[in-house]
Amino acid sequence: MWVWIIAVAVVLALFYALDREIYFYEGTHLGPRVQAWLYDRWAKKYDTSKGESQKQDADMLARPVMEALRGIPAPFILDLATGTGRLPLSLLKESAFNGHILAVDVSQGMLEQAAQKLEPHQGRFTLLRLVEFPLPFPDHSFDMVSCMEALEVMPEMDTPLNELFRVLRPGGFFLTSHGTEASGRKSKVMSKAGFKSLLESKGFEQVEITPWWKWFDRTSARKPGQASPSGHHTLTGVLQCPTCKEITFENVENGLTCRKCGKGIPTSASGIVSSQSH
C-alpha cells in the first residue's frame, strides 16, 4: 500500500516539475533545441497575454530608442530573442526610423509570426534563426543591441550578456528587461540593484531601470567609449561563415553562399535565414 502511495507521489511530483519547467520557465533547462520546439508550438498564441502592454510600445520602446540613437542616421540594430518581433515592429512603425534591424531567435515558429507582422516593412529588417552561442558576428558590429523579455528564460545570463557586449560598438546603446517579482520566476528574479550590478560587471555603464509592465522593467545601458556608427546595414556585412570563419557571404537564390568556401545557408519562403549554429 505505502509503496503505491509513494510511487504515485513521485510521479505527481515529477509531472508537476516538468509542467513548471515547460509552461512556467518555458523550457529553460531542457536545451535550446527542445526550447525552440516548445516556442514553435506556442508561437501563434504567444502575444495573447501581452496586448495591454503592447499598446505602450511606441512610448516605452520605440521613442526612447529613437532618442538614444539620435545623431545616427541609419543605425544597425541586433534584436536577440526577438520572438514575434515586438521591438522591431515598434521601431519600424516610426516614420523617422531609417535603420536596419537584424532580428534573431531560436524558434522558426516565432520568426514566422514576426515575418507576418513585419511584412509591410520589407527591406528594413532581416530575420535570422540561431540556436546556440556564440553569436556569429565580429566585435563592434552593431550600433544597438537588445534582448527583451528573454534573459530570464535562458539557462544563464552571463553568456548572452557577454556576447551582446562584445558585438556592440563602443558608445553603443543596449536595451533589455529586468524580470519583476510579479513574473513569479523566483529562481530567475534579481533585485534591481543586483541586475544593475550584473550589467556593470559585464562592462555596461549608465544603467537605468524603468518600470514598464507588471512582468518586466525596461532596462537601458551604454557600452563605454566613443566610436563612429558601425557602418554595417546588412546581414552579409557581418555574418561569419561557420566553416571558414570569413565574412564573405553573398545573396543567392533561396539563401546565402560563402564566396570563400562555398558554405550555403538556406532562406525560407518567408525570408528567414536559417543558420542553425556557429
Q: Evaluate whether residue 59 is within a structural domain.
A: yes
Residues 97 and 141 in one domain: yes
Residue 26 lies in a domain: no
DSSP 81: T
Same domain? For 200 and 73 the reply is yes
- Shared domain check, 142 and 97: yes
pLDDT level of residue 116 (50, 70, 90 thresholds): very high
For residues 216 and 246, state if they share a domain. Answer: no
Q: Alpha-carbon distance 65 to 211, whole Å?
A: 16
Is 207 in the same domain as 258?
no
Assigned domain for 210 exists: yes
Q: What is the pTM of this model?
A: 0.89
With pLDDT > 70 as the criterion, what percentage of the chain qualifies? Answer: 85
Number of domains in the chain: 2
pLDDT at 5 (0 to 100): 63
Residue 118 domain flag: yes
Q: What is d(CA 264, CA 254) in angstroms, rounded to the nearest whole number?
A: 10
In this prediction, residue 46 carries a pLDDT of 86
Residue 133 DSSP SS3: coil
129 assigned to some structural domain = yes
The percent of residues in the chain predicted with pLDDT above 90, rounded, is 68
Strands 249-252 and 216-222: unpaired
Same domain, 177 and 253: no
pLDDT of residue 14: 43
Given pLDDT bands bounded at 50, 70 and 90, which one contains residue 189?
A: confident
Residue 142 has pLDDT above 90, yes or no: yes
Q: Tell whether 261 is covered by a domain.
A: yes
The answer to whether residues 213 and 270 belong to one domain is no
In a domain, 24, yes or no: no
Q: Which domain, by its residues, includes 261?
A: 235-274
Residue 103 lies in a domain: yes
Does 91 share its domain with 215? yes
- In this structure, the answer to whether residues 188 and 244 fall within a common structural domain is no
Say whether both 195 and 239 belong to one domain.
Answer: no
Are residue 160 and residue 252 in the same domain, yes or no? no
| 79 and 127 fall within a common domain | yes
CATH number of the domain that residue 190 is part of: 3.40.50.150
Pairing of strands 142-147, 168-179: parallel
Give the model's confidence band at 184: pLDDT under 50 very low, under 70 low, under 90 confident, else very high.
low
Q: How far is CA 132 from CA 104, 154, 195, 278, in A?
A: 11, 11, 24, 7
